Amino acid sequence: MLARLGFVASVLSEDISASRTCRLKNATPCRIRELIAENLAALDRIVTFLDRRRILLYRITSNLIPYASHGVNGVEWWDEFAPQLHAIGTRLHSLGARVSTHPGQFTVLNSPTAAIVRAAVSELEYHARLLNVMGADRSAKIVLHIGGLYAGTEAAAMDRFCAAASALPDDVRRRLVVENDDRLFDAEEALAVGRRIGVPVVFDWLHHNANPSRAPLARLLPEIVSTWSPEDGRPKVHLSSQAAGGPSGAHADYIDIADALAFFEVMPAQPFDCMLEAKQKDRALLKLRADLRRRGVVETELRRTTPSRAAGLRN
Protein backbone atom coordinates (compact mmCIF):
# COMPACT_ATOMS: atom_id res chain seq x y z
CA MET A 1 0.00 0.00 0.00
CA LEU A 2 1.47 3.35 -1.05
CA ALA A 3 1.47 6.42 1.18
CA ARG A 4 3.07 9.82 1.07
CA LEU A 5 3.88 12.04 4.04
CA GLY A 6 3.48 15.80 3.96
CA PHE A 7 3.81 18.80 6.23
CA VAL A 8 2.29 22.24 6.71
CA ALA A 9 3.54 25.66 5.60
CA SER A 10 6.97 26.67 6.99
CA VAL A 11 10.29 24.84 6.61
CA LEU A 12 11.64 25.18 10.13
CA SER A 13 14.89 23.37 9.47
CA GLU A 14 15.90 26.07 6.98
CA ASP A 15 13.92 29.01 8.42
CA ILE A 16 11.74 29.50 5.34
CA SER A 17 8.31 31.06 5.77
CA ALA A 18 5.89 32.16 3.04
CA SER A 19 3.54 33.81 5.57
CA ARG A 20 4.91 37.33 5.80
CA THR A 21 2.23 39.90 6.56
CA CYS A 22 1.74 43.30 8.15
CA ARG A 23 -0.68 45.15 10.38
CA LEU A 24 -3.95 46.14 8.77
CA LYS A 25 -3.15 49.86 9.10
CA ASN A 26 0.05 49.32 7.09
CA ALA A 27 -1.56 47.24 4.34
CA THR A 28 -1.09 49.66 1.47
CA PRO A 29 -1.04 48.33 -2.10
CA CYS A 30 2.71 48.92 -2.22
CA ARG A 31 3.33 47.00 1.00
CA ILE A 32 1.02 44.16 -0.03
CA ARG A 33 2.87 43.80 -3.33
CA GLU A 34 6.19 43.65 -1.49
CA LEU A 35 4.90 40.96 0.86
CA ILE A 36 3.44 38.87 -1.97
CA ALA A 37 6.76 39.00 -3.82
CA GLU A 38 8.64 37.95 -0.67
CA ASN A 39 6.19 35.13 0.07
CA LEU A 40 6.31 33.77 -3.46
CA ALA A 41 10.10 33.81 -3.42
CA ALA A 42 9.96 31.87 -0.13
CA LEU A 43 7.46 29.40 -1.58
CA ASP A 44 9.80 28.81 -4.50
CA ARG A 45 12.57 27.98 -2.01
CA ILE A 46 10.19 25.62 -0.23
CA VAL A 47 9.60 23.78 -3.52
CA THR A 48 13.37 23.36 -3.81
CA PHE A 49 13.36 21.87 -0.31
CA LEU A 50 10.52 19.49 -1.24
CA ASP A 51 12.48 18.35 -4.27
CA ARG A 52 15.70 17.79 -2.31
CA ARG A 53 13.93 15.85 0.45
CA ARG A 54 11.54 14.03 -1.92
CA ILE A 55 8.46 15.26 -0.06
CA LEU A 56 5.48 14.99 -2.38
CA LEU A 57 2.71 16.35 -0.18
CA TYR A 58 2.59 19.94 1.06
CA ARG A 59 0.06 22.39 2.51
CA ILE A 60 0.40 25.99 1.33
CA THR A 61 -0.08 28.65 3.98
CA SER A 62 -3.35 30.58 3.89
CA ASN A 63 -1.30 33.76 4.36
CA LEU A 64 0.59 33.49 1.09
CA ILE A 65 -1.37 36.49 -0.21
CA PRO A 66 -1.79 38.90 2.75
CA TYR A 67 -5.37 40.01 3.37
CA ALA A 68 -6.43 38.19 0.21
CA SER A 69 -10.12 38.06 1.13
CA HIS A 70 -10.17 41.40 2.95
CA GLY A 71 -11.34 44.63 1.37
CA VAL A 72 -8.05 46.33 2.18
CA ASN A 73 -6.30 44.25 -0.49
CA GLY A 74 -7.17 45.86 -3.80
CA VAL A 75 -4.21 44.33 -5.62
CA GLU A 76 -5.18 42.11 -8.55
CA TRP A 77 -2.54 39.63 -7.48
CA TRP A 78 -3.95 36.83 -9.64
CA ASP A 79 -2.95 38.88 -12.72
CA GLU A 80 0.13 40.75 -11.47
CA PHE A 81 1.78 37.66 -9.99
CA ALA A 82 0.41 35.08 -12.41
CA PRO A 83 3.83 34.32 -13.96
CA GLN A 84 5.41 33.58 -10.57
CA LEU A 85 2.46 31.51 -9.38
CA HIS A 86 2.31 29.55 -12.62
CA ALA A 87 6.05 28.89 -12.50
CA ILE A 88 5.78 27.52 -8.95
CA GLY A 89 2.81 25.39 -9.96
CA THR A 90 4.77 24.04 -12.92
CA ARG A 91 7.67 23.10 -10.64
CA LEU A 92 5.33 21.29 -8.25
CA HIS A 93 3.72 19.42 -11.13
CA SER A 94 7.11 18.35 -12.49
CA LEU A 95 7.97 16.93 -9.06
CA GLY A 96 4.69 15.05 -8.86
CA ALA A 97 3.93 16.95 -5.65
CA ARG A 98 0.38 17.47 -4.41
CA VAL A 99 -0.66 20.63 -2.56
CA SER A 100 -3.61 21.64 -0.42
CA THR A 101 -4.81 24.55 1.68
CA HIS A 102 -6.71 24.79 4.96
CA PRO A 103 -8.52 28.08 5.66
CA GLY A 104 -8.36 29.28 9.25
CA GLN A 105 -10.82 28.75 12.06
CA PHE A 106 -12.72 31.93 11.23
CA THR A 107 -13.84 30.48 7.90
CA VAL A 108 -17.25 29.27 9.09
CA LEU A 109 -19.77 28.42 6.39
CA ASN A 110 -22.53 27.32 8.77
CA SER A 111 -22.71 30.50 10.83
CA PRO A 112 -26.24 31.94 11.25
CA THR A 113 -24.71 35.39 10.69
CA ALA A 114 -24.81 36.32 7.01
CA ALA A 115 -21.72 38.55 7.18
CA ILE A 116 -19.62 35.69 8.58
CA VAL A 117 -20.81 33.38 5.81
CA ARG A 118 -20.00 35.99 3.17
CA ALA A 119 -16.50 36.37 4.62
CA ALA A 120 -16.08 32.57 4.60
CA VAL A 121 -17.14 32.38 0.95
CA SER A 122 -14.67 35.14 0.05
CA GLU A 123 -11.87 33.25 1.82
CA LEU A 124 -12.72 30.01 0.02
CA GLU A 125 -12.84 31.84 -3.31
CA TYR A 126 -9.34 33.17 -2.62
CA HIS A 127 -8.00 29.68 -1.94
CA ALA A 128 -9.60 28.30 -5.09
CA ARG A 129 -8.30 31.19 -7.19
CA LEU A 130 -4.78 30.67 -5.82
CA LEU A 131 -4.78 26.99 -6.75
CA ASN A 132 -6.32 27.74 -10.15
CA VAL A 133 -3.71 30.39 -11.03
CA MET A 134 -0.98 27.94 -10.03
CA GLY A 135 -2.47 25.48 -12.49
CA ALA A 136 -3.13 22.83 -9.84
CA ASP A 137 -5.39 19.98 -10.85
CA ARG A 138 -8.51 18.87 -9.00
CA SER A 139 -6.51 16.83 -6.49
CA ALA A 140 -5.35 20.11 -4.88
CA LYS A 141 -7.97 20.47 -2.16
CA ILE A 142 -9.30 23.07 0.27
CA VAL A 143 -9.89 21.44 3.67
CA LEU A 144 -12.71 22.81 5.80
CA HIS A 145 -14.44 21.96 9.07
CA ILE A 146 -18.22 21.93 9.34
CA GLY A 147 -18.25 24.75 11.90
CA GLY A 148 -20.16 25.50 15.09
CA LEU A 149 -23.53 24.74 16.67
CA TYR A 150 -24.58 28.27 17.64
CA ALA A 151 -27.03 27.09 20.32
CA GLY A 152 -28.67 24.74 17.84
CA THR A 153 -28.55 21.03 17.12
CA GLU A 154 -25.95 19.11 15.15
CA ALA A 155 -28.56 18.41 12.48
CA ALA A 156 -29.41 22.10 12.04
CA ALA A 157 -25.74 23.06 11.92
CA MET A 158 -25.06 20.40 9.31
CA ASP A 159 -28.06 21.59 7.28
CA ARG A 160 -26.72 25.16 7.27
CA PHE A 161 -23.30 23.96 6.16
CA CYS A 162 -24.73 21.86 3.35
CA ALA A 163 -26.89 24.73 2.12
CA ALA A 164 -23.98 27.18 2.10
CA ALA A 165 -21.55 24.69 0.54
CA SER A 166 -24.03 23.77 -2.17
CA ALA A 167 -24.27 27.45 -3.15
CA LEU A 168 -20.51 27.88 -3.58
CA PRO A 169 -19.11 28.62 -7.05
CA ASP A 170 -18.23 25.50 -9.01
CA ASP A 171 -14.48 26.18 -8.94
CA VAL A 172 -14.62 26.23 -5.13
CA ARG A 173 -16.89 23.22 -4.74
CA ARG A 174 -14.71 20.97 -6.87
CA ARG A 175 -11.80 21.61 -4.50
CA LEU A 176 -13.71 21.46 -1.20
CA VAL A 177 -13.25 18.59 1.26
CA VAL A 178 -14.67 18.30 4.78
CA GLU A 179 -12.84 17.12 7.89
CA ASN A 180 -13.97 15.72 11.24
CA ASP A 181 -13.13 17.95 14.19
CA ASP A 182 -12.06 17.44 17.78
CA ARG A 183 -15.18 18.75 19.56
CA LEU A 184 -18.44 18.83 17.62
CA PHE A 185 -18.62 16.92 14.35
CA ASP A 186 -17.13 13.45 14.37
CA ALA A 187 -15.97 11.42 11.38
CA GLU A 188 -19.36 9.80 10.86
CA GLU A 189 -21.04 13.21 10.73
CA ALA A 190 -18.37 14.54 8.37
CA LEU A 191 -19.03 11.52 6.14
CA ALA A 192 -22.76 12.25 6.15
CA VAL A 193 -22.12 15.87 5.14
CA GLY A 194 -19.62 14.88 2.46
CA ARG A 195 -22.12 12.49 0.92
CA ARG A 196 -24.92 15.04 1.00
CA ILE A 197 -22.98 17.69 -0.89
CA GLY A 198 -20.87 15.32 -2.98
CA VAL A 199 -17.38 16.18 -1.72
CA PRO A 200 -14.59 13.97 -0.31
CA VAL A 201 -13.89 13.57 3.40
CA VAL A 202 -10.56 13.96 5.19
CA PHE A 203 -10.15 11.71 8.23
CA ASP A 204 -8.18 13.24 11.09
CA TRP A 205 -6.68 10.71 13.51
CA LEU A 206 -6.15 13.03 16.49
CA HIS A 207 -9.59 14.58 16.12
CA HIS A 208 -11.13 11.14 16.03
CA ASN A 209 -9.36 10.17 19.24
CA ALA A 210 -10.58 13.37 20.91
CA ASN A 211 -14.09 13.11 19.46
CA PRO A 212 -14.71 9.50 18.45
CA SER A 213 -17.66 8.42 16.37
CA ARG A 214 -19.89 5.55 17.41
CA ALA A 215 -19.22 3.69 14.17
CA PRO A 216 -16.19 1.38 14.25
CA LEU A 217 -13.23 2.47 12.17
CA ALA A 218 -13.23 -0.87 10.37
CA ARG A 219 -16.53 0.19 8.77
CA LEU A 220 -16.08 3.96 8.72
CA LEU A 221 -12.66 4.31 7.10
CA PRO A 222 -13.45 2.33 3.93
CA GLU A 223 -16.58 4.45 3.50
CA ILE A 224 -14.57 7.66 3.94
CA VAL A 225 -11.93 6.48 1.49
CA SER A 226 -14.67 5.73 -1.05
CA THR A 227 -15.68 9.41 -1.15
CA TRP A 228 -12.51 10.12 -3.15
CA SER A 229 -12.85 9.75 -6.92
CA PRO A 230 -9.83 9.29 -9.21
CA GLU A 231 -10.16 12.96 -10.21
CA ASP A 232 -9.98 13.97 -6.53
CA GLY A 233 -6.66 12.19 -6.12
CA ARG A 234 -5.57 9.82 -3.40
CA PRO A 235 -7.64 9.77 -0.21
CA LYS A 236 -6.14 12.31 2.16
CA VAL A 237 -5.80 11.92 5.91
CA HIS A 238 -4.33 13.93 8.78
CA LEU A 239 -2.01 12.48 11.39
CA SER A 240 -0.89 14.16 14.60
CA SER A 241 -0.16 13.25 18.20
CA GLN A 242 -1.69 14.71 21.34
CA ALA A 243 0.46 17.38 23.01
CA ALA A 244 1.40 16.28 26.52
CA GLY A 245 -0.29 18.50 29.07
CA GLY A 246 -2.25 20.35 26.39
CA PRO A 247 -6.01 20.47 25.87
CA SER A 248 -7.60 17.57 24.05
CA GLY A 249 -6.85 17.84 20.34
CA ALA A 250 -3.73 20.01 20.73
CA HIS A 251 -0.93 19.07 18.32
CA ALA A 252 2.37 17.82 19.68
CA ASP A 253 5.73 18.95 18.35
CA TYR A 254 6.40 15.58 16.72
CA ILE A 255 4.51 12.45 15.68
CA ASP A 256 4.63 9.58 18.13
CA ILE A 257 5.69 6.48 16.21
CA ALA A 258 3.03 4.50 18.08
CA ASP A 259 0.34 6.82 16.68
CA ALA A 260 1.69 6.40 13.16
CA LEU A 261 1.79 2.60 13.33
CA ALA A 262 -1.64 2.39 14.96
CA PHE A 263 -3.11 4.66 12.29
CA PHE A 264 -1.50 2.79 9.40
CA GLU A 265 -2.79 -0.44 10.92
CA VAL A 266 -6.44 0.57 10.53
CA MET A 267 -6.19 2.34 7.17
CA PRO A 268 -7.62 0.44 4.20
CA ALA A 269 -4.96 -1.25 2.09
CA GLN A 270 -4.81 1.27 -0.76
CA PRO A 271 -2.74 4.36 -1.62
CA PHE A 272 -3.35 7.46 0.50
CA ASP A 273 -1.72 10.79 1.34
CA CYS A 274 -0.92 11.55 4.98
CA MET A 275 -0.55 15.16 6.09
CA LEU A 276 1.37 15.49 9.34
CA GLU A 277 0.04 18.25 11.58
CA ALA A 278 2.87 18.75 14.04
CA LYS A 279 4.32 21.95 15.45
CA GLN A 280 7.79 21.01 14.25
CA LYS A 281 6.49 20.69 10.67
CA ASP A 282 9.23 19.43 8.30
CA ARG A 283 11.38 18.37 11.26
CA ALA A 284 8.52 16.16 12.46
CA LEU A 285 8.21 14.57 9.02
CA LEU A 286 11.91 13.81 8.77
CA LYS A 287 11.96 12.41 12.30
CA LEU A 288 8.98 10.16 11.59
CA ARG A 289 10.68 8.88 8.46
CA ALA A 290 13.77 8.03 10.50
CA ASP A 291 11.67 6.38 13.22
CA LEU A 292 9.89 4.24 10.63
CA ARG A 293 13.13 3.21 8.99
CA ARG A 294 14.53 2.06 12.33
CA ARG A 295 11.59 -0.34 12.45
CA GLY A 296 12.44 -1.83 9.09
CA VAL A 297 10.17 0.50 7.15
CA VAL A 298 11.25 1.48 3.65
CA GLU A 299 9.82 4.87 2.74
CA THR A 300 6.59 5.50 0.93
CA GLU A 301 5.18 2.05 0.51
CA LEU A 302 3.05 0.77 3.37
CA ARG A 303 2.67 -2.99 3.24
CA ARG A 304 1.86 -5.81 5.60
CA THR A 305 4.93 -7.69 6.80
CA THR A 306 3.34 -9.50 9.76
CA PRO A 307 -0.24 -10.18 10.82
CA SER A 308 -0.02 -7.15 13.13
CA ARG A 309 1.63 -5.07 10.41
CA ALA A 310 4.85 -3.18 10.73
CA ALA A 311 3.99 -0.92 7.82
CA GLY A 312 6.49 0.76 5.57
CA LEU A 313 6.87 3.94 3.58
CA ARG A 314 9.07 4.32 0.54
CA ASN A 315 9.37 7.66 -1.28
- Asked, for residue 26, whether it belongs to a domain, the answer is yes
- Asked, for residue 307, whether it belongs to a domain, the answer is no
Phi, psi of 57 (to 5 degrees): -140, 125
pLDDT of residue 160: 97
- Asked, for residue 89, whether it belongs to a domain, the answer is yes
Phi, psi of 281 (to 5 degrees): 45, -115
- Asked, for residue 105, whether it belongs to a domain, the answer is yes
Torsion sign (Cα): 28, 65, 172, 221:
negative
How far are the Cα atoms of 25, 57, 91, 182 from residue 50, in angstroms, in the given order? 35, 8, 10, 30
Q: Which amino acid is at 167?
A: A
pLDDT of residue 298: 56
pLDDT of residue 152: 82
Regions of the chain short of the pLDDT cut 70:
1-2, 297-315
How far are the Cα atoms of 51, 250, 267, 281 from residue 264, in angstroms, in the given order? 25, 21, 5, 20
Q: Residue 39 contacts by C-beta under 8 Å, 6 or more apart in sequence?
A: 18, 19, 20, 61, 63, 64, 65, 66
Domain count, the chain: 1
Element holding 132 (H helix, E strand): helix 114-133
- Asked, for residue 117, whether it belongs to a domain, the answer is yes
- Asked, for residue 304, whether it belongs to a domain, the answer is no
Task: Note the pLDDT tens digit of each residue in 32-58.
Answer: 999 999 999 999 999 999 999 999 999
- Asked, for residue 118, whether it belongs to a domain, the answer is yes
176: domain range?
Answer: 3-294
Q: Residue 213 contacts by C-beta under 8 Å, 6 or more apart in sequence?
A: 180, 186, 187, 188, 189, 220
Q: Residue 103 contacts by C-beta under 8 Å, 6 or more apart in sequence?
A: 62, 120, 123, 124, 127, 142, 143, 144
- Asked, for residue 238, whether it belongs to a domain, the answer is yes
pLDDT of residue 293: 87
Report the DSSP pairing between strands 201-204 and 272-276. Answer: unpaired
Task: Note the pLDDT tens digit of each residue in 54-111.
Answer: 999 999 999 999 999 998 989 999 999 999 999 999 999 999 999 999 999 899 999 9
Element holding 195 (H helix, E strand): helix 187-197
CATH number at residue 229: 3.20.20.150
